[in-house]
Structure 1
Amino acid sequence: MDNNDKNYKLEALSWVDKLSNEILYISEYLYMNPELGSEEYKACSLLTEILAKHGFKIEKELLGMKTAFKASFTGLSEKPKIAFLAEYDALPGIGHGCGHNVIAATAVGAAIAISKVLPEIEGEIMVIGTPAEEGNGPYAGSKIIMVERGVFKDIDAVLMMHPTTGRYAATRTEALAVQGFKVVFRGRTAHAAANPEMGINALNAVMIMFRGIDALRQHIRRDARIHGIIVKGGEASNVIPDYAEARIGIRAADINYLNILKEKVFNCIKGAAIMTEAKYEIEEVGPLYREKKIYHKLADIVDKNLEEHGFKVMPMEEYLRRGPVASTDFGNVTQVVPAISASIPITDQIIPGHSREFAEATMTEEGKKRTILSTKVLVGSAMDLFLNKNLLEEVKGEFRGN
């Protein structure tokens, strides 16, 4: 990177300060107007209007999803293509307890800042609006739909930030693959006192299934999880239930082990059916969320920019201690393109995610300050890729080797 290139990066970073009021307005507007997944009409409208105002080409209702969009701004050439992902759905009863208002604000702000210098350099910057990350409505896991429909096919790298809390920013946190299932047992009703011998208890089948799963947990890897709930188990205590329904989630650090666990769980279901003489049905619920791949070359770039803006980067031993957490449709993106989702703290205080307190933390003075700093991290990381072709090739080479 020569001095001239460094000036382009510095100029793009300076634009974040000039755009700070607009960036914070986006975050505050989404905070004040939370919308559930697949229903983010106000958020989608605001984000696309602001991007269009700054000269971005807008494609609304991406892939037929009414609250998805793609915005692009092209410089001297269409390559390399770098995309920021925006999430903007809220949680029921909580609002932006996962901080998606900050994700959207930083993605849009970073893209606009880069667009101010892009006419003089090669490349295209994009913002892809991805609704329903939390899994609500018909667009649940929208990134998975986008992956399957080729939205990321020509993109060279994808960047995103996700707000967190605590001491460290993290770029190498793994996410588990997950598949959800609906399990139904069907039995036969009978009077629970007068003639119970004539009934087939569907609720017993569900309970036996969970006992089997509880026993199975002792023998699974540490990077896997099996969890579930009983959705329905009967209507009256004096009637043997002929219908019982459960939801089960199976998570694993890789898809192969998830499939192994799936067969083991299915055996628990089949065994419960045999023991109770109930019939069973198994149905997949929602798309398959893939595990998140870690691209260390890309993480190194983001780590450097995090440190430049005052964030402490999580040491490797801390990653090893914590292990994989949760699951996300971003994992599917990492299967098809070099991609990174950096977890950046909006406060040093540890606040649980998916809480009202977390949402409120995005609106504090510290939260706002770190929203701007997070935007600069995205800008700096993307500019490093735009301006250093060898660096981008190293990132793409690691992806090909993966």
Structure 2
Amino acid sequence: MNYDFDLFVIGAGSGGVRASRIAASHGARVAVAEEYRVGGTCVIRGCVPKKLLVYGSHFAEDLADARRFGWDTNGATFDWPTLRDNVAAEVDRLEGLYGQTLGNNKVEIFLQRATVAAPNLVRLADGREISAKHILIATGAWPAVPAIPGAEYGITSNEVFHLEKLPKRAVIAGAGYIANEFAGIFHELGVEVTLVTRGDKMLRSYDQEIVEKLVGISRGKGIDVRFDFKCPAVRKQADGSLLIESGNGDDVETDLLLFAIGRVPKTKDLGLEAVGVALDGDGAVIVDAHNATNVPSIHAVGDVTNRVQLTPVAIREGHAFADRVFGNNPRTIDYSAIPTAVFSNPPIAGVGLTEEEARATLSDVKVYKSDFRAMKNVLAGRNERALYKMIVDGATDKVIGLHLIGPDSAEILQAAAIAVKAGLTKQDFDDTVALHPSMAEELVLMK
């Protein structure tokens, strides 16, 4: 059968763009449909603009610390519209580059919504139907909003980058990386922040000793962190402010409510169920190790599968899919020892097993720690301390986990994650000469 395209990708985010480019490089005729903006969540309204806001917010502490280093910073002021608009301009630039990449690889772009009409047929929003030998679902995920009265008064991470002005007070509901990152951003920009969660823990997938350190530092900076906050309803008051009910009488008044309670796979009304594609209870596309669904012509990568919601993972999945289907190079992704980070203030980063996970699965676990103040913090008069943890399998001496909180943790962990992935031992770390003076040297000095 002659198809219009060899591959039709629904969603031009990180995974979809990589799959399109690699498939085209293998000679496939490729098209992509994107209903919003090319680049997806990460580039348009996720990790890229958020990290730029993190950089911008950090100048508050940097300017304060600079005085101890001889700099006169009197009169320094902050202007939210300048940061907001410059970040938006950078997003525009990156969107253009993503579109250019697709164009350079002769990928046809349809800037409209597309749905699956049949196993080999896509229907565009304008009514056109396009056939394809393979269809790839790469629509990502969408911020969850709780089903409570007054939820419509809150915003999500989709809208937070476009605020007309910063609020005086903000309540952030959530316990994950988005909630903790925006708590740090808003606080440093002068907003009175309350961070609330329904449960009794933050960042459950991270080493809990590291997380407890973050919570303590956050509270020390002035962020009001509240656990067991059920939030049964939100009420708008006469003056326009919001009253966030806690469920226990400890209600909070605020000017802004940001929901950061998780992200759900974006499969609603895509037509997948109608053509027989299996979805799980959360709406995620069920795929095998090769990103294939139960319908042979339909595949999925990235957050829409709800396996690991990380941009680098989506990129690797998209690349592996294209290599397998169009490049005669079948391979799978190794999901073990994926390094992750939370760009909170201070940031945390981790790779491998946490102490809790290691003790639950191994009989002999050794834990090494370094609790210290960064040299810059010492001279700045800042009492904030860093904590590095190394988790070791006592039977083999292999380092099976590294977990950090402190300045530049993510930058330090990326290289250290290679050692964990490679199965190096504690002795290998000990045999490595320290790079002094640096924070990273603590990784090879732990006793």
Structure that is richer in helix per residue? 1
TM-score normalised to structure 1 length: 0.28
Q: Which has the higher relative contact order, 1 or 2, with Cα contacts under 8 A spaced 6 or more apart? A: 1
TM-score normalised to structure 2 length: 0.26
